[in-house]
């Protein structure tokens, strides 16, 4: 696919798929600080388009103050290379009614806040009875919204960097959007309850992708941003796009041969730099594939991604492997 075409689609379609910081370091946590977060009239807005390079975002919040960047010590985990569950690892086990079990290894060293939030939500039994509301083949499947339609839901995490209902994204060069990656859906760099799992098995050839195109898109977003009034939603929107694609360019330039080889097994590289990858599926790939093949219809926003038959999350259990 042409990365420039897919990236420009983010800008022209005005999809809420953002992050709020940029740095050349390959091990960085991006925490956006907000004085407040306002949901839209419906609780949150669901913004989307087609599955080719489009948003996995599902929630909309208010404007953001200047972001704070926290540089981490080099991470030792992530989903580069083979991912296996070892003693002491944190495991999330999803039981999907009628489909089976998906088991994922979580990355507390890569995304400590994201993992803490997810663990708390699971312990509070938040996910029980929620649905997988969005399925796009060769892209991702998404769930965890409060209202079952991509709207609603408040984060359990309430520590540093959080607002009333959300927290900033965490990005690391070793946590990529490979097939089976477990990630947070976000809007303007804010995570809460919604997650997605990458289901694309299409080979991604990073050697054919130019980081310069991502940089050019970042510059285009910067131009749009500078035509807006600082502090407005529009300003924050374009600022987020600018930083997301600077991050993407950085991650493309820092892609190792191991990362490039794994992407040939599937994934959606163009989301790198803009979303928190906090885990990796290790068992239940057949469940992912079967869910990804269900019949879908248009949702309220006109995207053909809503399962015709409800897909219910029976439970999400989190435990430490022995």
Q: Helices 211-226 and 233-253 sit at what angle, rounded to 10 degrees?
A: 160
Q: Are 65 and 295 in contact (CB under 8 A)?
A: no
User: How far apart, in whole angstroms, are the C-alpha atoms of residue 151 and residue 148?
Assistant: 7
Task: Check residues 12 and 162 and name the one with the higher pLDDT.
Answer: 162
241 vs 81: CA distance, rounded Å: 29
Map out the domains of the chain as residue ranges: 3-320
- Cβ-contact 158, 30 below 8 angstroms: no
SS3 93: strand
Determine the Cα–Cα distance for residues 267 and 107; give it in Å rounded to an integer.
18
Question: What secondary structure letter does DSSP report for 78?
Answer: S
* pLDDT top residue among 1 and 304: 304
The pLDDT tens digits for 108-161 are 999 999 999 999 999 999 999 999 999 999 999 999 999 999 999 999 998 887
What value does the mean pLDDT of the chain take?
81
* pLDDT confidence of residue 190: 87
Q: Any idea which residue has 């529009």 for tokens?
A: 234
- Measure the CA–CA gap between 241 and 270, rounded to whole angstroms: 12
Which one-letter DSSP state was computed for residue 274? T
pTM listed for this prediction: 0.81
Half-sphere exposure (CA, 13 Å, Cβ side) for 193? Answer: 29
Tokens 């495991």 belong to 91
Confidence of residue 239 (pLDDT cuts 50, 70, 90): confident
> Whole-angstrom Cα distance, residue 176 to residue 19?
15
What is the CATH architecture of 3-320? Beta Barrel (2.40)
């Amino acid at each position: 696919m042409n990365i420039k075409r897919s990236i420009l689609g983010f800008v022209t379609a005005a999809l809420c798929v953002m992050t709020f910081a940029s740095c050349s370091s390959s091990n960085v946590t991006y925490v956006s600080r907000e004085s407040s977060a306002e949901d839209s009239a419906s609780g949150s807005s669901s913004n989307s388009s087609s599955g080719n390079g489009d948003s996995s975002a599902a929630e909309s919040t208010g404007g953001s103050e200047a972001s704070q960047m926290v540089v981490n010590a080099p991470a030792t985990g992530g989903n580069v290379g083979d991912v296996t569950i070892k003693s002491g690892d944190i495991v999330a086990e999803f039981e999907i009614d009628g489909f089976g079990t998906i088991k994922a290894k979580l990355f507390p060293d890569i995304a400590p806040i994201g993992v803490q939030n997810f663990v708390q939500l699971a312990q509070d039994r938040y996910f029980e009875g929620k649905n997988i509301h969005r399925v796009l083949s060769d892209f991702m499947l998404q769930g965890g919204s409060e209202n079952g339609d991509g709207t609603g839901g408040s984060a359990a995490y309430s520590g540093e960097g959080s607002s009333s209902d959300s927290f900033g994204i965490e990005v690391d060069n070793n946590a990529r959007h490979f097939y089976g990656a477990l990630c947070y859906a976000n809007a303007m760099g804010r995570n809460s309850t919604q997650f997605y799992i990458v289901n694309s098995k299409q080979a991604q050839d990073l050697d054919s992708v130019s980081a310069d195109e991502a940089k050019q898109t970042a510059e285009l977003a910067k131009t749009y941003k500078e035509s807006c009034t600082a502090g407005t939603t529009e300003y924050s929107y374009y600022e987020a796009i600018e930083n997301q694609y600077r991050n993407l360019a950085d991650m493309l330039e820092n892609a190792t041969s191991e990362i490039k080889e794994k992407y040939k097994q599937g994934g959606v590289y163009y989301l790198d730099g803009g979303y928190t990858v906090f885990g990796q599926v290790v068992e239940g790939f057949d469940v992912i594939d079967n869910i990804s093949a269900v019949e879908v219809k248009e949702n309220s926003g006109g995207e053909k991604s809503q399962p015709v038959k409800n897909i219910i999350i029976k439970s999400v259990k989190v435990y430490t492997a022995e």
